[in-house]
Amino acid sequence: MFFLHSNVVPDADYRARRPDAASRMTLYGTFVDQVRPLFERLVAEGLIGAWGLTGIGHPDTIIKLLGERPAPSAVQCSIRAVQAGALTTVMDRPLPDDHPETRDYVRAAGFRRLAGELGATPALMAHRYALSLDVDTLVLGVKNRQELAECVAAAEAGPLPPELLARIDQTVDRKAC
């Protein structure tokens, strides 16, 4: 499996509005005219078995690519199990009140309460939730040993039962979405 690990975006104007990230973006036209034909040639030559793309970038552009033929064999989706700290006990860095991750942290108050009722940390519950999803491969990112230990504990505890998944889903403050 050969992946394009890049943000696929609609056009040059989109990329120009993000100069700090522009070098990590692939234009839709470039993908259609150059990348996809190259991937298909590599498959035809037997050099790779299949190709895919990372499902980040401009959502409408990714959805458009998934509807076109030839379509990727796989899409690597980003699942941020602890939502950059929003699904942990406390944020590990100061962020302004209007920061998206701060807003997510506030919205997740019910989730933290439920984790407390169950005698678990929010991070452990978030990792177990992610491990319960119907996906082929899940990478739980960590940045320190404590987070690694929680990921290992979540893997050892296994997926959550469906009724608990439903309870967790109900803790989300959807009015703030």
pLDDT of residue 168: 95
pLDDT digit of tens for each residue in the chain (177 aa)? 998 888 888 888 878 887 777 778 888 999 999 999 999 999 999 999 999 998 877 788 889 999 999 999 998 877 777 877 888 888 888 889 988 888 889 989 999 999 999 999 999 999 999 999 888 777 777 778 888 898 899 999 999 999 999 999 999 766 655
Backbone angles phi, psi at 75, to 5 degrees: -130, 125
Q: Cα Rg for the chain, rounded, in angstroms?
A: 19
Task: Decide: pTM greater than 0.85.
Answer: no
Burial, 166: exposed, middle or buried (Cβ in 10 Å; 0-12, 13-18, 19+)? exposed
Q: What is the pLDDT of residue 99?
A: 86
What is the predicted pLDDT for the residue at 24? 81
Q: What is the DSSP string of 22-35?
A: GGGEEEHHHIIIII
- Give the model's pLDDT for residue 176: 57
